[in-house]
């Protein structure tokens, strides 16, 4: 039976950019939904995610607007990044679906960011040229910071996936070793039983 679990991410527009990095576990045959509140039309909403562990590192993503209309849909992907301008204020829904998996739990890290394009007012004594230079410097710092964060996120995802693969391989080797030992013991018992049959009762003449 498919269950629906929901979590809420409150997004009060008190700063220029709001970002909420979260790591969640989506059980097999289940759906997890999270929400971001947008108060102004045209606010830039960014969303990125990456499956860190579980199965084939794939999951279904669906983004819906306040009217429940699907804005973006990405089936069976391991990671993605999406941005859009809010067409209306309200609660936006971000849902991960793992209903294609019957036993594998998925660990997903995602980030919701809301940019209202609010600019801080500078003192009147600051000239236009100074304002342009300040804005250019801020833009450069923001671009470099974003690039660094994307690189860190990429390496973190690679590390988590490699760790998950190693653990999965170790588990398979362990169970295969157990099966091999049991098979060898079974073959030994079978050989002993067959030899005993040749030396018991009426089967002595077969030797």
* Residue 128 Cα to chain centre, angstroms: 44
Strand order in the sheet with 90-97: 3-9, 30-38, 90-97, 59-64, 70-77
* CA angle (42, 43, 44) in 5-degree steps: 110
CA gap 186, 92 in Å, rounded: 59
What is the predicted pLDDT for the residue at 64? 92
What is the predicted pLDDT for the residue at 81? 85
CA gap 97, 118 in Å, rounded: 34
Which residue from 96, 103, 99 is spatially nearest to 78, judged by alpha carbons? 96
| Per-residue CA distances from 50 to 1, 37, 134, 136, 193 (Å) | 26, 22, 34, 31, 56
User: What does the pLDDT profile of the chain (207 residues) look like in tens digits?
Assistant: 444 444 444 333 333 445 557 888 999 889 999 988 888 888 888 888 888 888 888 899 999 999 989 998 988 888 888 888 888 899 999 999 998 877 888 888 888 888 765 444 445 555 556 667 777 777 778 777 777 777 777 777 778 778 777 888 888 898 899 999 999 999 988 888 888 887 775 555 544
Q: Give residues with Cβ within 8 angstroms of 199, minimum separation 6.
A: 207
What is the predicted pLDDT for the residue at 95? 93
What is the predicted pLDDT for the residue at 104? 84
């Amino acid at each position: 039976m498919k269950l629906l679990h929901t979590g809420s991410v409150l997004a009060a527009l008190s700063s220029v950019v709001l970002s909420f990095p979260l790591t969640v576990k989506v059980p097999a045959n289940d759906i997890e939904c999270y929400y971001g509140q947008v108060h102004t039309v045209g606010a830039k909403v960014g969303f990125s995610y990456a499956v860190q562990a579980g199965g084939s590192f794939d999951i279904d993503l669906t983004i819906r607007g306040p009217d429940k209309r699907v804005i973006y849909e990405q089936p069976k992907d391991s990671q993605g990044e999406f941005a859009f301008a809010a067409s209306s204020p309200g609660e936006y829904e971000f849902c991960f679906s793992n209903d294609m998996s019957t036993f594998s739990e998925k660990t997903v890290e995602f980030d919701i960011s809301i940019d209202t394009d609010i600019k801080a007012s500078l003192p009147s004594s600051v000239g236009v040229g100074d304002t342009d230079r300040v804005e250019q410097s801020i833009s450069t710092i923001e671009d470099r910071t974003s690039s660094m964060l994307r690189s860190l996120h990429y390496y973190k995802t690679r590390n988590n996936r490699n760790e998950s693969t190693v653990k999965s391989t170790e588990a398979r080797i362990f169970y295969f070793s157990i099966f091999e030992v049991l098979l060898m013991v079974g073959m030994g018992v079978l050989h002993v039983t067959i030899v005993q049959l040749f030396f018991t009762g009426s089967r002595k003449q077969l030797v």
